[in-house]
Amino acid sequence: GGNITSLSYRNTHLSYTAKNYNYNVFDPVGQRSDSIYNYNDNENIQQVRFTALNNLSLLLGTRTKVEFRNLFTQQGTDQTTLRTGRNFEEQFEVRNYAFRYQQRTIYSGQIHAEHTLRPDVSKLSFTGGYARTWSQEPDFRRIRTVRDINTTDSDTPFQTIIPPGATTLDAGRFFSELSEQVITGKVDYEHRMDGEKLDMKLRTGVFMEQKDRTFDARWMSF
């Protein structure tokens, strides 16, 4: 028998600026495509991940071997976005904010047993598995603020956009949760048949899988 265990932890920080441009259809008369908007997205992301792995094997006598395999991962991502720039069609200078956190949990376990019925002739094996995935986005928040694109006074405040009806662009919040579990089972039988000219193996078995998934989401806007 034997045992293998591994633990890992990672904490990463990422910061960058993404350029986001959009243009109208090319105008053959003016020989140009007018700009719709020009944005700079300042992204700040922190990601933390913990992983644990354990493989255990046991020998029961001379004919039976049992293995137990486990893998667990926990990950969290925290993201902040600040968008600045100009929307030329709407004639606004923009300053938008988005705050997002997402966590994910993954577990996978498997037990495998192999028993030799007749040495070098026949053997029977069994494998059972269980996997669980859980993902949650508890509160994705976003908001838009604007001011006139022709403003010359840098102290002119930005105004928060609160639309008369709910939209997917303006002030809003989003919640989601995903849960999935998988159960598997497998039984295999192998028999070796020796012949004068051919060395053949007969293999047969059954396999089953049950998978359940639920997803809940809620979106609201002000």
Is 70 exceeded by the pLDDT of residue 197? no
Instruction: Give the pLDDT mean for 37-63.
Output: 95
Q: Give the list of residues 6+ apart from residue 197 with CB closer than 8 angstroms, or none.
A: none
Give the helix ranges, DSSP H, for the chain: none
Q: Is 77 exposed, middle or buried (0-12, 13-18, 19+ CB in 10 A)?
A: middle
Q: Give the list of residues 6+ apart from residue 28 with CB closer than 8 angstroms, or none.
A: none
Please give the Cα distance from 166 to 136 (Å, whole number).
Answer: 23
pTM score: 0.79
pLDDT band at 208 (very low <50, low <70, confident <90, very high): very high
Instruction: Give the pLDDT mean for 26-30.
Output: 83
Candidates 151, 153, 195, 172; CA nearest to 96 is 172
List, for residues 96-131, the tens digit of each pLDDT value.
999 999 999 999 999 999 999 988 889 999 999 999
Instruction: Give the pLDDT mean for 132-148.
Output: 95
Quote the mean pLDDT of the chain: 93
Instruction: Give the pLDDT mean for 66-72.
Output: 97
Specify the pLDDT at position 171: 87
